[in-house]
A and B are shown apart, each in its own frame.
Chain A
């Protein structure tokens, strides 16, 4: 493997990689603003400048400069090496690069910071990026100096409405063009462009257009400063109060890796952020997925309810549910919205009660594209097919109910990909997160914990099983599916092959995928 030397470290690289790419992979980061591993190289911020030592026997590339001499009180001629941007420099074998150990590089970084902050507004107290802002971090680590300009800063438009999701602040913008490159290269919709140059530079929309494609929130995500902010997150939370867990987006069958950011003090999820996964979503997420966290809070069922008895207590509901599930003709309706842990718990409960008919439903199809979005808006269809390759569809359940083969249903889930009216004809016990068609039709509904409130395994359309961690505690009386299964089993006097969450998890360990589709 070819190697180059960065300061005192030997870094291996594959041919074709740039210095910054190889350095990042090796864990030695070089400060940068405009470079992004998922976008093309722009090299306009000049923060990643490094000193390249000349090969043996060759003179260094140097420039004639004037340096202020304190003792003489005047400028004197000096030489300075020409620094190269590490994001653009192709790594070559035996190269010697100085970054933190070169005084020229340290000076250059401080100078770049000074320029970037020259016309920057004093917005930290009101800027959402505070706490995760590269200008703040790099100023402290690489500069620490005040600027030498005494004039008023150049004023530019602030709080420009770019579209349904994004607000732009031109004064905060450092014109790194990450947003421009993202829209053009990843989305294929070049709606943003840069106008003017120098300290008048700003980002503008194509004439007559708004920033309205399906990945607009990614422009906010790539923006290293607070120039692009999401309307959904603006002024809602300060990032240093938020904790993160590694999660999986449940918006569709792509299974993008994400971080769920929540405030542990009030147990509220405030946003998702994409998590890098080269095999699934690379660095990105779509707007639908990014905003999907809102479903954690909306239309939740918080207490157990009995359709015929509004004043029923939780124990009443449990006993009523147990009474309804006793007897022949029990069918289990699984949900592709839910994790494999939830589904396997309900499946085992059904089997313990003698059910022999198993069906699956989920959210109806939506829009897909060839970038990230999958038309199947359920995160775990393959997961259920792995558990139960012979599972049938909602339409098949309707036929079975009409034919009298199914006389009671144990259902998991909230949404259906069809009509749920037929469910009113038979007693249904539902474990639902949201107050959807299944909960509306059910005789007894028990509140289930959502994907953010329990650890869950989801198998995406490509067959990859991924685990999503628990972020917040379930609200109200909601509990994870396996807990309800144990309660019901206790009330019904049957035993399940698990007693703890860890045992449920062990049953859903990822298995190699086969891909039969649901039988109608």
Chain B
């Protein structure tokens, strides 16, 4: 059969010239949770995109105003739910800043070790999922296996794999277990091995590199003006890490490097996270070496810390202390504070306003991936439909943190 258009003049052929509107999400496997992208496509290329977030908004900040200060911990756990320890520690540090108290040294090392383990878990999830969405299922399973080892440590220490609500104002819920250091050292060795293997598997793959290299580039100026922080900003070449720029806890006393990218494409964002895992492992090793094996984890302040249960049941003073802290909430003097740490996705900030009572007046969480998702439009506009997958994956938008 001959071609239909063989006798037609070029000017007579009518081609579609209106762009196609495609709705991606909020319920879509590539939309990393619940994000809706309304895309205007011209062929395969995205000419315009409208990114709509908020499908996971649960009203956390408002709910915090209806409880006590220590009742905020379960909420912040569920913000960046792949690295909950970082959120817990961030909020505890914010409260302690307002109270003007510093936790004992042993607690600082413990928080750092657990926090970096959470960061590793975050990056493993991001990179693993990115690989899987491009068809590489094996590295995903390997990284999830590594992540599960970390979650085993979390379960051993806190009782829960993921949303453990382990932080407390003035310390942690429980001291480290006796086997913590041994367990952690064994796990991070395994994790390093798995990360190296997965990287080897992926970076030798032509298809993987083609999908990521040169895709989703954003300039450093754009990234900074969008308010990006964390691995995405560092991939764009800006060396800003809160742990180095404004060190907190013992970060100024440990040696680690901050990887910075060159081309600011998806591959850079992918590789930076793997490199950050290696640096986190370095930090954890130093923390475990320097953490004392005995000594208090919590501050001994009766206004803020709960007493041990045995004395609550037997002495009147500790019954009163328990009663007051639980029923009225620990009291933070009136004032406001902005406290910021390096979360999994960047500068995780807590702006707290206290009216002097046991109930927060306002808890504002600065979610790093909300600002990063704000740049999604710029990153994927002009790219092809299939590029959305690695681009969105490399930004690591966590719905819980973005929408709260």
A124 within 8 A of B: yes
- Contact partner, A135, options B314, B315, B320, Cβ 8 Å: B320
Residue of B nearest to A131 (CB): B327
- Contact partner, A117, options B303, B317, B323, B324, Cβ 8 Å: B317
Residue of B311, B313, B320, B323 most packed against chain A (CB within 10 A): B320
Which applies to chain B's interface (DSSP): helix, strand, loop or mixed? Answer: helix
B383 within 8 A of A: no
Establish whether residues A124 and B320, one from each chain, have CB atoms under 8 Å apart when the complex forms.
yes
Which residues in chain A, 358-391, are within 8 Å of chain B measured between CB atoms?
none
Establish whether residues B314 and A122, one from each chain, have CB atoms under 8 Å apart when the complex forms.
yes
Establish whether residues A124 and B323, one from each chain, have CB atoms under 8 Å apart when the complex forms.
yes
Which residues in chain A, 113-136, are within 8 Å of chain B measured between CB atoms?
117, 120-122, 124-125, 130-131, 135-136
- Measured between beta carbons, the chain A residues less than 8 angstroms from B313 are 122
Residue of A nearest to B324 (CB): A140
Establish whether residues B315 and A136, one from each chain, have CB atoms under 8 Å apart when the complex forms.
no
Establish whether residues B317 and A145, one from each chain, have CB atoms under 8 Å apart when the complex forms.
yes
Which residues in chain B, 332-375, are within 8 Å of chain A measured between CB atoms?
none
Which residues in chain A, 194-238, are within 8 Å of chain B measured between CB atoms?
none
Establish whether residues B302 and A122, one from each chain, have CB atoms under 8 Å apart when the complex forms.
no
Interface 1/0 per residue, A141-169 and B, CB below 8 Å? 00111110000000000000000000000
- Measured between beta carbons, the chain B residues less than 8 angstroms from A122 are 313-316, 319
Establish whether residues B316 and A140, one from each chain, have CB atoms under 8 Å apart when the complex forms.
no
A139 within 8 A of B: yes
Q: How many residues of A contact B (CB 8 A)?
A: 18
Residue of B313, B319, B321 most packed against chain A (CB within 10 A): B319
Establish whether residues A121 and B316, one from each chain, have CB atoms under 8 Å apart when the complex forms.
yes
A152 to chain B, nearest CB (A): 11
- Measured between beta carbons, the chain A residues less than 8 angstroms from B323 are 124, 130, 136
Establish whether residues B327 and A146, one from each chain, have CB atoms under 8 Å apart when the complex forms.
no
Residue of B301, B315, B317, B323 most packed against chain A (CB within 10 A): B317
Establish whether residues B317 and A136, one from each chain, have CB atoms under 8 Å apart when the complex forms.
no
- Measured between beta carbons, the chain B residues less than 8 angstroms from A146 are 311, 315, 317-318
Q: How many angstroms from the CA of A157 to the CA of B313 in the assembled complex?
A: 21
Residue of B nearest to A136 (CB): B320
Q: How many angstroms from the CA of A146 to the CA of B300 in the assembled complex?
A: 12
Q: How many angstroms from the CA of A454 to the CA of B309 in the assembled complex?
A: 46
- Measured between beta carbons, the chain B residues less than 8 angstroms from A140 are 302-303, 320-321, 324
- Measured between beta carbons, the chain A residues less than 8 angstroms from B320 are 117, 124, 135-136, 139-140
Q: 15 interchain pairs (CB within 8 A)?
A: A117-B316, A117-B317, A121-B316, A122-B314, A122-B315, A122-B319, A124-B316, A131-B327, A136-B320, A139-B317, A140-B303, A140-B320, A145-B302, A145-B317, A146-B315
* 4 closest A-B pairs by CB: A144-B302, A120-B316, A124-B319, A136-B320
Residues of chain B touching chain A, judged by Cβ–Cβ distance below 8 Å, are 301-303, 311, 313-321, 323-324, 327
Beyond A122-B316, A125-B319, A140-B321: 8 further Cβ-contacts under 8 Å?
Answer: A117-B316, A121-B316, A124-B323, A130-B323, A140-B320, A144-B302, A144-B303, A146-B315
